[in-house]
Copies of this chain bind each other. A is one copy, B any other.
């Protein structure tokens, strides 16, 4: 099944929800108006629809494979990657100084969605490279930047993030990989890292690993972790590639999904490789990023970028699943419509439950896209707005939204891809149909770059408890304003939305009150048992709020003939979101506020 990038929907969100006109007034973004967005997205769509989307199923059938330390990617990936870097797609959001296009995240995020919808497994290579670039831009020395950034921004080299070890998944305090300083300012790295996405592959000539490790004498726990650059091939003074470094891929994982994306176990410093320069001895040569023991801080910068991107992956795979389900529902003929509107068997899109499933898929995807686009605009504003207070407010807003974009969008992608299978009936269970691949691919999204629970801990702890709920409540205040606009508009759809938004907002505020109550620390287990439901409630609400804003815009424009059908669809989808998705909010409130104790009450031995 072909994929068609929803460029019109994206541009609607970019224009009306993210207000690209305001972003284009900020220094450095003067060229990045709606016209640029449209041109970039159309070109991005053309490339991804044509080159990467057709390779998606192939990657599932012929995954990347490992032999003797080398990884061969799915047939076609290498050539597609060449075209990807030729098109300059790696550099979309990166500084012009290093060869990038320096476009706002508001536009770049849509490119990320298109890339991931076309081919989630492929897109992980650029996603990780983005993270490495981010870390080096933030904390790398001028020397490191000079050696690595241009090659990464062009995509000539790819990047990886090396956090996880067998005993250290979410808990980085347990990291054991060690880095020993050498006389020359470099380090030798020793240890095993697992779950390293594109940790080894054949698409680029070098791989730049960003690795968490401990230096001798470092403090215990997360305060003793440093960040290192460890290239697969050492880089000569002239920028050319030198000796093979002592980091090796000892295996790749056999996974439920994203099978084309190699998930590597990397061994640092086992010294067994014949290719090591004789004089070098064992140990992978690494270079400190920033200062010792501040690695976690830098890694969080990468992770925040990556978390947002994983949220986009959720939206992307949901969109792809939705398109596939719609195509099947138009084509598959079964049973007469219950309303008697057709005499014989009809395409299943005529059946109310299929409509409900497709609308659920559509509304969830659109709502999360709207939320993510607005978050991207906040990011851009936080980085480029001339006014310091505006920057600060937007940074705070963005940081509040990141766990929602990551957590809620990826959780919704489970629901959407599963509905995608269901729409197909028995054919959905047959692998050749393709619907099941999206479900399998999506299943990692609520796990990597921090599980939903990790996102929810962030939301409860750092983003809500720490400031006593100030930011959380301010958000509710903005939503209340939208409700007033909806009521003023007076249409049936707007009034339905206003009512559901108000009820979801009330539920949300009650939860914020519960989490930030003075006695919350007294029943902290109960509070954290509600963390994921709180994230789901907040994500639902914020996405619904953006659907409400879209509804208001669409109502104004529905009179303009050329876009009438498009705008009417926005209104209908928003109303569906209000009546079928926002309505879930009070149930979450009840579970959080009243169910915290029962969630933790069962005796351990009774499980």
Distance, CA A432 to CA B253, complexed state (A): 9
Q: For residue A347, give the distance in angstroms from its CB to the closest CB of chain B.
A: 9
A167-B333, A572-B602, A598-B572 known; A524 and B429 CB under 8 Å? no
Is the pair B254, A432 in contact by a Cβ cutoff of 8 Å? yes
A254-B430, A422-B446, A429-B443 known; A528 and B338 CB under 8 Å? yes
Distance, CA A443 to CA B433, complexed state (A): 15
Please choose the segment from A91-99, A117-125, A298-306, A354-362 that sits at the chain B interface, where 4 or more of its residues have CB less than 8 A away: A354-362
Is the pair B422, A338 in contact by a Cβ cutoff of 8 Å? no
Question: Which residues of B have CB within 8 Å of A444?
Answer: 429
Is the pair B426, A254 in contact by a Cβ cutoff of 8 Å? no
Distance, CA A256 to CA B60, complexed state (A): 12
Is the pair A599, B352 in contact by a Cβ cutoff of 8 Å? yes
Known contacts A352-B525, A575-B601; 10 further A-B pairs (Cβ under 8 A): A170-B425, A349-B607, A353-B456, A354-B453, A355-B599, A418-B418, A429-B444, A572-B602, A579-B594, A580-B595
Contact of A256 among B170, B436, B580 (CB under 8 A): B436
Is the pair A174, B607 in contact by a Cβ cutoff of 8 Å? no
The 7 A-B pairs of least Cβ separation, nearest first, read A579-B595, A352-B529, A352-B528, A353-B453, A569-B606, A583-B590, A171-B334
Prevailing SS type, chain A contact patch:
helix
Distance, CA A421 to CA B174, complexed state (A): 23
Which parts of A328-377 form the interface with B (CB within 8 Å)? 329-330, 333-335, 338-339, 345, 349, 351-356, 358-359, 362
Chain B: CB-nearest residue to A604: B349
The size of the chain A interface, using a CB distance under 8 A, is 97
Proximity string of chain A (299-325) to chain B, C-beta cutoff 8 Å, 1 when within and 0 when not: 000000000000000000000000000
A565 interface residue per 8 A CB criterion: yes
A591 interface residue per 8 A CB criterion: yes
Is the pair A426, B565 in contact by a Cβ cutoff of 8 Å? no
A359-B602, A565-B606 known; A257 and B353 CB under 8 Å? no
A405 interface residue per 8 A CB criterion: no
